[in-house]
Structure 1
């Protein structure tokens, strides 16, 4: 019988953030594992140790309640250095939303705060040529739906990565690091419609700030994105074999 997989979820959330535990449950659902298989790690406290990384099979980097990759701060520089170390050791890594932005900046890309191009809810994306030829992303179809929630965006990808997907308003939506088991998405493949709406209710200020409408009107615009809900399992099968 194969051993249970172990995961490290890198989080960047305050202790009282109501989504800390929800995020663990979301990744467990997407990876079809037990929440107890996921060890959360608070990136605000430093970087994962070599011992921690040696004991797990896969790293995930999730979203962020109130922290921006576009700012300059001492904690962020330390966090980015820790992420670069994870990249160096070639462990399978999947970053979504804040993770996408943080890995981009850690590897030399540029991230800005851009409310004009912020996205919240379900949005349509399309594959690039690299995405159409990718063993994981090609299964999504040329155009697909994805769950969004961001004000910052990547405006320049780092070197050594391949752009996999874009939207009409935000060209940089997903990339893979060439030659490494590392994928990142601006969107949230760990979510479902229900958990997306749960997050929006937890951060009610974002609904009118980004979507520009009351919650009830916003909720009606959110549709299911079944293709991207299977993306993390496809990543796991590709790099962990199950």
Structure 2
């Protein structure tokens, strides 16, 4: 497909320092101009069919200050929008907050768990189903991936297949069976420089999760090129 049209669903404040950076990260990962990516603010607007009518692929990214575990009104509205997204059947790739939000919207369970938080790069290993998956099977059996989360999925929604895990968090990637929807706890839209700039923008994460000064922490992170290959593989599989 020539010049696909993308929708990036964001759950970020207007003054979030990563709001614009995230758009650039997805555009770079998909090797498309930023003008091909329409941004949808899930905090202020409910998603409906008109927002998806001219869209070929949807992405959902991370969140600076919002937890999927919240029961506030904004989260309840977001769940309704995400249910509509799943009903639409649009090819959708969700990472981090999006992974957790789609899991909850479809009947899974998400908790806040600082003990199992991951930040930086972690080794992801494919499940047996992941090794047979048409997209994940094109990656190595184990690969480094970019991480940044304190919440985690502890129960996957019904009608999904687990594709990958880490030593700390079993639920790292899943697909919705019968739908063109894939979700990862890790961030395939990032590169090592964009990961580090994001962590630097949220210094409290480094202090709370890694419990290290940023200059020390950054030396522990490494490039994860196999992780970076995932979004183009997803796009090519579903859009051709």
SS at the partner of 1:183? strand
Corresponding residue number in structure 1 for 2:69: 70
Q: What is the CA deviation profile of residues 13-68 of structure 1, one whole-angstrom value per residue up to 9, with x for unaligned ones? A: 00000101000000000001000100101100122231120111000000000000
Corresponding residue number in structure 1 for 2:170: 171
Moved more, 191-200 or 42-51: 42-51
Check conservation: 2:11, 2:42, Cα contact below 8 A: yes
SS at the partner of 2:80? helix
Partner Cα separation in structure 1 for residue 40 and residue 121 of structure 2:
28
Check conservation: 2:119, 2:210, Cα contact below 8 A: yes
Corresponding residue number in structure 1 for 2:55: 56
Corresponding residue number in structure 1 for 2:97: 98
Matched, 1:193 2:186: no
5 Å-filtered alignment, 1:149-160, equals 149-160=148-159
Check conservation: 1:197, 1:219, Cα contact below 8 A: yes
Partner Cα separation in structure 1 for residue 126 and residue 154 of structure 2:
18
Partner Cα separation in structure 1 for residue 2 and residue 31 of structure 2:
15
Q: What is the CA deviation profile of residues 159-207 of structure 1, one whole-angstrom value per residue up to 9, with x for unaligned ones? A: 0000000000100000000011000000000000000000001001110
Q: What is the CA deviation profile of residues 108-135 of structure 1, one whole-angstrom value per residue up to 9, with x for unaligned ones? A: 0000000000000000010001100001
Aligned length: 240
What TM-score, normalized by structure 2, do the two folds share? 0.99
Specify every segment of 5 or more residues in structure 2 that has no aligned partner in the other structure, as ranges.
none
Corresponding residue number in structure 2 for 1:225: 224
Partner Cα separation in structure 2 for residue 47 and residue 129 of structure 1:
37
Q: What is the CA deviation profile of residues 127-150 of structure 1, one whole-angstrom value per residue up to 9, with x for unaligned ones? A: 001100001111221111000000
Moved more, 10-19 or 47-56: 47-56
Corresponding residue number in structure 1 for 2:87: 88
What TM-score, normalized by structure 1, do the two folds share? 0.98
What's the C-alpha RMSD, in Å, of the aligned pairs? 0.8
SS at the partner of 1:63? coil
